[in-house]
Amino acid sequence: MARNGLMKTAPPQIDEAAFGIVYGSVSVMAVLMVLHPPLENPARQAVVLFGSVFAMALAKAYAEACQRMIASRKPISWADVREVWRHSRMVLLAANGPTLAFALAAMGVLSTLAALILAQSLAIALLVWFGGRIGWQVGGTLLSTLAGAGLTGGLGLLLSLLKAFFH
């Protein structure tokens, strides 16, 4: 089904993943902010990056589980745990590309600086894409799509600029 005849709506699983991907991409950018050249051990950076985002996904899942128990005043069920993890695991998707960039640097395919730039670019690209999706879902116009992409991608770019300024 097309909205305004311009763009088909995404499958529901893409729109459901938006929170996790945006949160994960911002988390990746936050972790990348503390990395600065020279990055002497890109394999370690890959583990630190993925591990940090994994810890954030677990923290998000735990917080959501706590919120559910408070709201329902009941212990969380296994079905709730599975649903909470289904939402939280999307955070990890944002870390895959940037982690791969550092893994390629560890194998000598990329320099560590190129891996850092690629990792930042991938995170920003996800923010732009999902920001555009959010804008489209909210407004259904080209302008709202561009505004969503610009705002969300701009957040990633701002984090990159802050990283460059402080390092």
pLDDT at 47: 92
| Tokens 């909210």 found at | 138
> CB-hemisphere CA count at 13 Å for 35?
27
For the chain (length 167 residues), average pLDDT per consecutive 10? Answer: 50 67 85 75 90 90 92 93 87 90 95 91 91 90 94 85 72
85: its two tokens: 């993890």
Q: Full-prediction pTM beyond 0.85?
A: no
CB-CB contact of 33 with 116 (8 Å): no
